[in-house]
Amino acid sequence: MPRTPLRLVRARPEPSFTVTFDDRELAVLPGQTIAAALWSAGVVSWRTTRGSGEPRGVFCGIGVCFDCLLTVNGRPNQRACLVRAEPGDVIRTQEGTGHHE
Amino acid sequence: MSERPRLAVIGAGPAGLVAALAAAARGVSVTLVDAAPEAGGQFYRQPAAGLGARRPSALHHQWRTWERLRDGLAAHVRAGRITHLTEHHVWCVEREAASFAVHALLGPEQEESVAVRADAVLLATGGYEKVLPFPGWTLPGVVTAGGAQAMLKSGLVLPGRTAVVAGTGPLLMPVAVGLAAAGAKVAALVESADPRAFARHARVLAAHPDKLAEGARYAAELARYGVRVHVRHTVVAAHGSDRLEAVTVAALDTDGRVREGSEWRVPCDSLAVGHGMLPHTDLAETLGCRLDGVNVAVDDEQRTDVPGVWAAGEATGIGGAALSLAEGRIAGLSIAARLDSRVPERSSYAVAAKARGGLREFFAVVDKVCTPPDRWVERVGDDTLVCRCEEVPAAAIREAVDELGAGDVRTVKLLTRAGMGWCQGRMCAPAVAGLAGCPPTASRRPFARPVPLGVLAREPDGPASRPDLL
Ligand SMILES: Cc1cc2nc3c(=O)[nH]c(=O)nc-3n(C[C@H](O)[C@H](O)[C@H](O)COP(=O)(O)OP(=O)(O)OC[C@H]3O[C@@H](n4cnc5c(N)ncnc54)[C@H](O)[C@@H]3O)c2cc1C
Ligand code: FES
């Protein structure tokens, strides 16, 4: 059997729930941050920068760099690496400041 | 109100935890404040409970120590001796007449602020990783080495299928082992330092057989997972359009130049990179604590020069979990004694002090050997972003220095906006200093976290009314 993080720690996660990311449904394991949920789904970028519109995702992973910002339930500039996903969350890619420009 | 003296510990990593336990066991009423949802800090970061990990120790070293800390914390919390506030992001510690107010934003939204009052404060805030820029370092898929480890330990996720781990320093080996154990293919571990340089410090190394054994253990695990280790090599560029697709690795000569013709391309979808760590010093700076270089300065008892404020762990200098534990223990014992108007007996912390001395000496050597490669600055292309937040390229920094005469990080910042973004310069400060050819200096950030204006406006006697803090 291939190695996976879940197998490594013999995880028996509670049932997953769904959130939407840019209108697409994603399954999330309880307790995961939004960044972890996106990584599990193979998504590594969810923001474009204000200036040149470069894609960004996780960089520091611990809340220091603010590269992982996105919009959660209408609130822009949330750090995906800190915020835990909750059932039904509506998560969106953030463009620029996240406020309409 | 309780008669017992009150201590606020900021940071529930190894240093803060052990200090909280030592002080609580000696009659101090402790409030342990941490931004994370669970105790453990960086080293003992735990998988979220909902993930049901039945063998979390597989992602950890020194698990027994963690069990002692975890169980000790639970017992003190049950007995009412420690209050553990999770998801509290401290943005400012304020000195009041005879006590302190610790202001914390409630996470993860960080819109509400609460204040914890205490007679003494321990800063055990640890550090964060330093990454120097190189072409392509802003591509999605490029993450800090510790960040990859943190995401793995807490969320049980990997940054991709094929990873390269690169940079310099003792964190790279555990990160590569962690990623490989969790199923990533680690295509290469690229360390710029020359391990032969350790030979010049044979006396110090000989005094730390445990550290050598630890290194050997990691090396054996890397071999078991088939990870190729390239020392005196560096990642010169990351490639990809919307996400990382490959990195170019090259050999370094003894002057830190890339050996001509040595470059090769390694396909990968993730790069975990780090060039060492930096201490969190913002809270100490706002309190007016003296810094020693980039570290919070402390005395033999881990006291800062501000009465009532102690600091322990990586906030006072980078040295790993074992050093943080030793410093935390000394701080906890000192605080318990001093709050009881006693002088702590040196014999009570002699063992920890000996460990601290040895580990500091060892990590001074690591720091010398694992410095970023000479001439890294030359490999930063003009169009490489240095400030990730404000998207300031190296060319702008070079112009500020060469043409506009900026001689320090502060002036460069004013001229280019490098360091003015969300992260408040934490990510780019070392690179800006390197490009400007000046030493990194303390940042003088007003707050340790971006604070919503509404919070500042609601604090009538709080820091907002203190113009010196703003
Ligand atoms: C991302 C990362 C991953 C790492 N992974 C490893 C590893 O796998 N193996 C290894 O040997 N070493 C690792 N390290 C090194 C690690 O720093 C030390 O091993 C050790 O954890 C240091 O202990 P400490 O108690 O000094 O600080 P830390 O463990 O860093 O604990 C500090 C705590 O303070 C909290 N904190 C900081 N600022 C605030 C604030 N303003 N408000 C509230 N809380 C705050 C943090 O949330 C954290 O829990 C890592 C470092 C980093 C940055
Ligand atoms: S990845 Fe750095 S703040 Fe989230």
Q: What is the pLDDT of residues B311-329, one digit of tens each?
A: 999 999 999 999 999 999 9
For chain B, percent of residues with pLDDT exceeding 90: 81
User: For chain B, how many structural domains are there in total?
Assistant: 3
With 50 as the cut, is the pLDDT of residue B1 above it?
Answer: no
Could you tell me which of B364, B339, B342, B344 has the C-alpha nearest to residue B300?
B344
pLDDT at position B467: 39
Q: Are B13 and B124 in contact (CB under 8 A)?
A: yes
Residues B106 and B135 in one domain: no
In a domain, B445, yes or no: no
The mean pLDDT of B417-435, rounded to a whole number, is 92
Q: Are B424 and B443 in contact (CB under 8 A)?
A: yes
Could you tell me which of B422, B444, B453 has the C-alpha nearest to residue B105?
B453
Q: Which of A33, A43, A44, A79 to mutate to test the pocket of ligand 2 (most atoms within 8 A of CB)?
A: A79
pLDDT at position B196: 87
Q: Are B389 and B422 in contact (CB under 8 A)?
A: yes
How do the domains of chain A map onto residue ranges?
5-95
Structure-derived torsion over alpha carbons of residues B176, B181, B187, B192, reported in degrees to the nearest 10: 10
pLDDT at position A101: 44
Query: Using CB atoms and an 8 Å cut-off, which of residues 178-207 of chain B contact chain A?
Result: 181-183
Q: For residue B28, what is the domain's CATH number? A: 3.50.50.60
Q: Which of chain B's residues have a Cβ under 8 Å away from the Cβ of A84?
A: 37, 48, 108
Q: Which residues does residue A70 pair with via DSSP β-bridges, in sequence order?
A: A78
- Token pair 């959130």 in the structure block, residue: A19
Contacts of B362 (CB under 8 A, 6+ apart): B204, B205, B207, B208, B211, B319
**How high does pLDDT run on average in chain B?**
93
With 80 as the cut, is the pLDDT of residue B264 above it?
Answer: yes
Check CB contact of B106 with chain A, cutoff 8 Å: no
pLDDT at position B468: 39
pLDDT at position A100: 57
With 70 as the cut, is the pLDDT of residue B144 above it?
Answer: yes
Residues B209 and B269 in one domain: yes
Residues B288 and B397 in one domain: no
Sign of CA dihedral B84, B16, B73, A79: positive
pLDDT digits (tens, 9 = 90+) for A63-95: 999 999 999 999 999 999 999 999 999 999 988
For chain B, percent of residues with pLDDT exceeding 70: 97
Q: Which of chain B's residues have a Cβ under 8 Å away from the Cβ of A7?
A: 183
Instruction: Determine whether the interchain pair B142/A59 forms a contact, defined as Cβ–Cβ distance below 8 Å.
Output: yes
Check CB contact of B288 with chain A, cutoff 8 Å: no
pLDDT digits (tens, 9 = 90+) for B8-44: 999 999 999 999 999 999 999 999 999 999 999 999 9
In a domain, B462, yes or no: no
Distance of CA A23 to the CA centre of its chain: 14
Q: Work out the pLDDT band at B459, boundaries 50, 70, 90.
A: low
Q: Work out the pLDDT band at B127, boundaries 50, 70, 90.
A: very high
Residues B83 and B138 in one domain: no
Residues B135 and B256 in one domain: yes
Q: Which of chain A's residues have a Cβ under 8 Å away from the Cβ of B421?
A: 66
pLDDT at position B364: 94
In a domain, B45, yes or no: yes
Q: Which residues does residue B295 pair with via DSSP β-bridges, in sequence order?
A: B292
Q: What six digits make up the tokens of A12?
A: 């028996």
pLDDT at position B108: 79
Q: Which residues does residue A79 pair with via DSSP β-bridges, in sequence order?
A: A69
Q: Are B466 and B443 in contact (CB under 8 A)?
A: no
With 70 as the cut, is the pLDDT of residue B63 above it?
Answer: yes
pLDDT at position B465: 42
pLDDT at position B362: 95
pLDDT digits (tens, 9 = 90+) for B170-194: 999 999 999 999 999 999 999 999 9
The mean pLDDT of B274-294, rounded to a whole number, is 95
Q: Are B168 and B365 in contact (CB under 8 A)?
A: no
pLDDT at position B453: 79
pLDDT at position B466: 41
Q: For residue B399, what is the domain's CATH number? A: 1.10.10.1100
C-alpha dist (Å) from residue B122 to B2, B30, B312, B313, B456: 20, 10, 7, 10, 24
Q: Which of chain A's residues have a Cβ under 8 Å away from the Cβ of B48?
A: 30-32, 84
Q: How far apart are CA A91 and CA B388, in angstroms?
A: 23
Residues B85 and B191 in one domain: no
Q: What six digits make up the tokens of B62?
A: 């020194």
Range of the structural domain that residue B419 is part of: 380-436
Instruction: Determine whether the interchain pair B147/A60 forms a contact, defined as Cβ–Cβ distance below 8 Å.
Output: yes
The mean pLDDT of B164-173, rounded to a whole number, is 97
With 90 as the cut, is the pLDDT of residue B407 above it?
Answer: no
Q: Work out the pLDDT band at B373, boundaries 50, 70, 90.
A: confident
Q: How far apart are CA B137 and CA B287, in angstroms?
A: 35
Q: Are B235 and B273 in contact (CB under 8 A)?
A: yes
Q: Are B225 and B186 in contact (CB under 8 A)?
A: yes
Q: Pick the most confident of A17-26, B54-63, B411-420.
A: A17-26
pLDDT at position B6: 98
Q: How far apart are CA A32 and CA A84, in angstroms?
A: 6
In a domain, B265, yes or no: yes
With 70 as the cut, is the pLDDT of residue B460 above it?
Answer: no
Contacts of B19 (CB under 8 A, 6+ apart): B9, B122, B124, B310, B312, B328, B329, B331, B332, B335
C-alpha B363 – ligand 1 centre gap (Å): 16
Q: How far apart are CA B63 and CA B358, in angstroms?
A: 22
Which residues, judged by CB distance below 6 Å to any ligand atom, belong to the binding site of ligand 1?
A 61-62; B 10-16, 33-36, 41-43, 89-90, 124-129, 146-147, 149-150, 171, 174, 280, 313-314, 320-321, 324, 448
Q: Which of B105-109, B146-150, B382-386, B457-461 has the lowest mean pLDDT?
A: B457-461
Could you tell me which of B183, B273, B252, B181 has the C-alpha nearest to residue B220?
B181
With 90 as the cut, is the pLDDT of residue A1 above it?
Answer: no
Beta-strand relationship, A24-28 and B6-10:
unpaired
Q: How far apart are CA A14 and CA A30, in angstroms?
A: 6
In a domain, B452, yes or no: no
With 70 as the cut, is the pLDDT of residue B444 above it?
Answer: yes
pLDDT at position A96: 83
Neighbours of B240 (CB within 10 A): 18
Angle at B285 between CA B367 and CA B443, to 5 degrees: 65
Domain A5-95 bears CATH identifier 3.10.20.440 = yes
In a domain, B261, yes or no: yes
